[in-house]
């Protein structure tokens, strides 16, 4: 980056990839091309949504009151504001998400998972996890899974250098202390298998699932939540 000889011609002869580097890159490129489609097709077939929509629902299902500002949600799923807006509108039309104006700050929109949305995530999670397991996890040794994490973090550090490239970390500080009514099947943030198990279909699923399906961004819901006051 700093001391390129820059010969007489205008181009400084780029550093081509070695065979080993090429092999690594080609494998990664293959994954980039085919894996999303494979995951999408499972979700599309079994749940009528794509992976990104699933991520959004899943992200909301993990959020404190099943609620997240559009911006937080966008960061969480690594989507542009525009994309989020379109997607949430679609999800709202299907009745899985509701949009409320934030009473604190009228500029902000809060996306809220509806009960139907919650049920949808809970119902879709097992199939998605199964797909992830089948296509990725079960193909690898545990050492490779560790390596995958390390490799992924390093690449993400390059792709989004400005962002805290720590992997998903569960929202430890609950904002919904009164969380598990164990009845309404709405608003739970932590699995709590015993209580919820009997409630609807799976209860553990979503929370775990959400985590497992989601993306690296921590969403940092706490950071800007109370900027004023």
Partner DNA sequence: GCGAGTCACTTGAAGCTTCAACTAACGGCG
Partner DNA sequence: CGCCGTTAGTTGAAGCTTCAAGTGACTCGC
Residues 105-144 that bind a copy of itself (CB under 8 A): 125-126, 129-130, 132-140, 142, 144
Residue with tokens 């559009």: 70
Within residues 3-42, the interface with a copy of itself by CB under 8 A covers 11, 13-17, 20-36, 38
Using CB under 8 A as the binding rule, whether residue 201 contacts a copy of itself is answered as yes
51-62 helix and 115-135 helix, angle to the nearest 10 degrees:
120
Nearer to a copy of itself, 98 or 163 (CB): 163
The answer to whether the beta carbons of residues 120 and 47 sit under 8 Å apart is yes
Residue with tokens 């939540």: 225
Interacting partner of 194 out of a copy of itself, DNA, none (Cβ under 5 to 8 A depending on kind): none
Within residues 62-121, the interface with DNA by CB under 7 A covers 69-72, 74, 79-90, 99, 102, 105-109
Using CB under 8 A as the binding rule, whether residue 194 contacts a copy of itself is answered as no
Interacting partner of 159 out of a copy of itself, DNA, none (Cβ under 5 to 8 A depending on kind): a copy of itself
Rounded to whole angstroms, the maximal C-alpha distance in the chain is: 75
Rg (CA), the chain: 21
Q: Label residue 19 exposed, middle or buried (CB < 10 Å: 0-12, 13-18, 19+).
A: exposed
Residues 45 and 135: their CA atoms lie apart, in Å, by 16
| Binding footprint of DNA on the chain (CB under 7 A) | 37, 41, 44, 50, 52, 69-72, 74, 79-90, 99, 102, 105-109, 224, 227-228
């Amino acid at each position: 980056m700093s001391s390129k000889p820059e010969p007489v011609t205008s181009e400084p002869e780029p550093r081509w990839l070695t065979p080993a580097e090429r092999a690594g890159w080609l494998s990664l490129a293959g994954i980039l091309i085919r894996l999303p489609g494979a995951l999408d097709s499972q979700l599309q077939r079994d749940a009528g949504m794509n992976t990104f929509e699933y991520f959004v629902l899943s992200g909301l299902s993990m959020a404190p009151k099943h609620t997240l500002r559009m911006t937080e949600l966008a960061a969480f799923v690594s989507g542009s504001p525009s994309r989020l807006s379109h997607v949430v509108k679609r999800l709202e039309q299907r009745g899985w998400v509701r949009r409320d104006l934030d009473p604190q700050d009228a500029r902000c929109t809060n996306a809220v998972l509806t009960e139907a949305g919650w049920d949808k995530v809970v119902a879709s999670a097992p199939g998605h996890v199964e797909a992830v397991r089948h296509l990725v996890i079960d193909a690898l040794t545990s050492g490779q899974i560790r390596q995958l994490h390390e490799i992924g973090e390093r690449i993400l550090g390059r792709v989004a250098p400005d962002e805290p490239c720590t992997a998903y970390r569960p929202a430890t500080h609950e904002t919904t202390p009164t969380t598990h009514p164990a009845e309404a099947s709405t608003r739970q943030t932590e699995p709590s298998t015993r209580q919820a198990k009997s409630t609807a279909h799976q209860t553990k699923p979503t929370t775990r699932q959400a985590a497992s399906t989601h993306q690296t961004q921590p969403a940092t819901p706490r950071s800007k939540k109370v900027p004023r006051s």
